[in-house]
Structure 1
């Protein structure tokens, strides 16, 4: 990525982080990538939303394909290790993920080196969920996320609903139950 774009992205993220991190209330921005579907594999009719068409590294260095989430309910949580609101939401994310084995949970850390993200994951015991090291903000951009925290709810049907802002444990649980068909 050209240095100019990295700088512009960093400035934009920093500006929104300063004004948004810790701001109460969630804003929902539903999106549906119906016009840009692809298929997970040849002969497979699973709808893959444009947002899931990415490859990223986990905090541990393994390759993760967003298309692996296609056709099943998933929650992506966008966080940074230094955000106080993210620190508050981390145990909520971990607890709701542990209680819902039929929904896939993925954390998407950004704006830091993998070592700082790993320390965050260790501190809040999030190692049982996939945690991506999105240092360049590529996955964040795919979902239109410019501030943390944010959430993306991906239905088995490919519908993507992005919530920018905080969610309480009850709000997250309700969203997850809806994804799981409960």
Structure 2
């Protein structure tokens, strides 16, 4: 009888731990971090498909949905404060958001991050656009993002026009981002 208690004492925690692991959301524990632009699109998030809708809380506590932004093109940037390439591209995104203000909505999607760290990031880089919180990785999965940063370009009618995996950095990155934005503005 004692032997069975010992076995139960050792096996039960293992079974419970395995069940907990299997029930967790299937989000990459460490999303890939892109140090250079990748034109390889993540599986499933292809141009021409409707952008998955969502309602999320922003870093400043407001509720925001994708449908609130439609009517104008939307640029969704998936980022995290711990992502070095995200830090490198933040000034380029901030500058583009200011330049295209009123014509394009920019939206940050903060992924698997601590809220206070994310707020510090936004303040440090002066991001002039809202960021929604994706603390459970469900937007990461819905948009099939496999690495950070990733930028999704959505037409004013809610269709994904393009996906850019990797950072927009330096003068070349700024030119590429501007060209993508100008193309996006031509879409219905």
TM-score normalised according to structure 1 size:
0.78
**Where does residue 55 of structure 2 map in the other structure?**
55
Distance apart, 1:166 and its partner CA: 2.3
Secondary structure of the corresponding residue to residue 162 of structure 1: strand
Structure showing greater radius of gyration is 2
Q: Distance in 1 between matches of 2:151 and 2:65?
A: 18
Q: Deviation digits for residues 35-66 of structure 1, max 9, x if unmatched?
A: xxxxxxxxxxxxxx341x11111011111111
Q: Which runs of 5+ in 2 are unaligned?
A: 1-19
Distance apart, 1:122 and its partner CA: 0.7
Tell me the number of residue pairs that the alignment of Structure 1 and Structure 2 aligns.
158
**1:3 to 1:68, Cα distance in 2 relative to 1, 3 A:** farther
The within-5 A match list for 1:85-100 is 85-100=85-100
Q: Distance in 2 between matches of 1:171 and 1:13?
A: 30
**Where does residue 126 of structure 2 map in the other structure?**
125
Secondary structure of the corresponding residue to residue 32 of structure 1: coil
TM-score normalised according to structure 2 size:
0.76
**Where does residue 184 of structure 2 map in the other structure?**
179
Q: Which runs of 5+ in 1 are unaligned?
A: 34-48
**Where does residue 105 of structure 1 map in the other structure?**
106
Q: Distance in 1 between matches of 2:83 and 2:134?
A: 15
Q: Deviation digits for residues 136-169 of structure 1, max 9, x if unmatched?
A: 1122222111210000000124320222222311
* Contact kept in structure 2, 1:117 and 1:133, CA below 8 Å: no
Of 20, 33, 39, the residue aligned with 1:27 is 39
